[in-house]
Copies of this chain bind each other. A is one copy, B any other.
Amino acid sequence: MTNSKFEPGLDFAHQLDTNDDLASFRKAFVIQDPNLIYLDGNSLGRLPCRSIDRINQVVEREWGEQLIRSWNANWYQSPQRTGDKIAQLLGAGPGQVVVSDSTSVNLYKLVLAALEMRPNRKRIISDSLNFPSDLYILEGCVHLMNERSGNKSHLSLEIIPSEDGISMDSPTLLKAIDDQTALVTLSHVAYKSGYLYDMVAITDKAHQVGALILWDLSHSAGVVPMELDRWGVDLAVGCTYKYLNGGPGAPAYLYVRQGLQELAHSPIWGWFGQHLPFAFEMEYQPAKGITRFLAGSPPILSLLSMEAAIELILEADIWKIRDKSKLMTSYLVYLVDNLLVPLGFTLASPRIADRRGSHVSIRHSHAYQINRVLIEEMKVIPDFREPEDIRLGLAPLYTSYREVWQAVDRIRRVVVEERYTRYPFKRLTVT
């Protein structure tokens, strides 16, 4: 899959679409305006047609007619059942993934659980490519532990800097993981550049020094295959509203490998994680297995709508999805090189497909303005990331090669026709 195979014209995009094994999946999504090119499936996946039927069934039949009886009939086991479905996309056996809360809350639970399992170690390692929200949670955990313990220097968070802001130098990262490290936690795919980490090498290094590893799979689940069980990953979290198409703010999931489950404890002692929630005992006793990481009642409408979306992905082969994703991002990089770099853009994502997830960032000093023109005039929806990146997310189940070509062409026109100059140049200011 070298770029030299590609050609710049629209005909070639059609040819790629014709040869696309997954092309038929596009029909499984609601596409109200076929001329709107949606390249933000890495933030909010499109609506699967079947989610409409599922939500109607849940609302009108399960809630409206069956009322409270649906808790026993269907809802009560849905966090575990849906977790087991997501697990299939992550290379995890059953009983290790559960749907619960948000990614932030799950990360919080697992970080504190990890620190409890490594009480005498002083360091949490992450890096500057990690999603800032994850870093906030880590900072909060460190603050909690240090302030509460009355020993302000006990625990530290080390954020290893990326030199180019795009990828992480592996030797630097691996070297930082030492025998004082309690936990290493990283995003599997970086939210901004799309850099894909070597999960095996980093997990192995953490284990060599006795540290635990926690991966945030939000930007990789559903487009990058992985083998959590086989690779010995300890802990993972992720959201379901990006490539999993679970819907806005759909509940997140967490993974704790079987061997750790009896040692690990959630700091949030909720009744859904209790061993007998409806016995109404006065004292908390954690449930066996992954269930102990649940907290309160899950948001059923959001959860069961998401379950339908997961079932759709399971019908496609995750390896085929990855093959298409790599071909498609490579094609996009080829078009960027040929059509956009001459106009002042640079590639802000890894050049090698094996080191990328399914989105590509391009950089331009007028990125904010260009992004606005694309949305408001050109029927292209990418997203802007501070200070000057435009992210183009390719969702193999519904993005076509034709759309990739057209999106690049529209970006080109925005710059050539200087349309962006009519919009105010904006850098983020605090108001």
- Min CB distance A240 to B, Å, is 10
Which of A139, A269, A281 has the largest count of B CB atoms less than 10 A from its CB? Answer: A269
Q: Is the CB of A270 within 8 A of B102?
A: yes
B105, A296: Cβ atoms closer than 8 Å: yes
The verdict on A25 contacting chain B, using a C-beta distance below 8 Å, is no
Number of copies of this protein chain within its complex = 2
A249 contacts the other chain (CB 8 A) = yes
The one of B67, B143, B252, B276 that contacts A40, using a Cβ cutoff of 8 Å = B67
Question: Does B299 lie within 8 Å of A250, measured CB to CB?
Answer: yes
CB neighbors of B among A27-52 (8 A) = 30, 32-33, 38, 40, 43-44, 46-47, 51-52
Chain B residues in 8 Å Cβ range of A133: 270-271, 274, 277, 296
Is the C-beta of A408 less than 8 angstroms from some C-beta in chain B? Answer: no
The answer to whether A284 and B381 touch across the interface, beta carbons within 8 angstroms, is no
Q: Which of A280-297 contact B (CB under 8 A)?
A: 280-284, 295-297
A4 in contact (CB, < 8 A)? no
Compute how far the CA of A75 lies from the CA of B103 in the bound complex, rounded to whole angstroms.
Answer: 18
Contact of A300 among B59, B148, B248, B268 (CB under 8 A): B248
4 shortest interchain CB distances as A-B pairs: A102-B296, A140-B269, A104-B296, A133-B271
- Where the two chains meet, the residues of A that have a C-beta atom closer than 8 Å to any C-beta of B are 30, 32-33, 38, 40, 43-44, 46-47, 51-52, 55-56, 59-60, 62-65, 67-71, 75, 101-105, 108, 112, 116, 128, 132-133, 135-137, 139-140, 143-145, 147-150, 159, 192, 239, 241, 247-252, 266-272, 274, 276-284, 295-303, 305, 375, 381, 383, 385-386, 428, 430
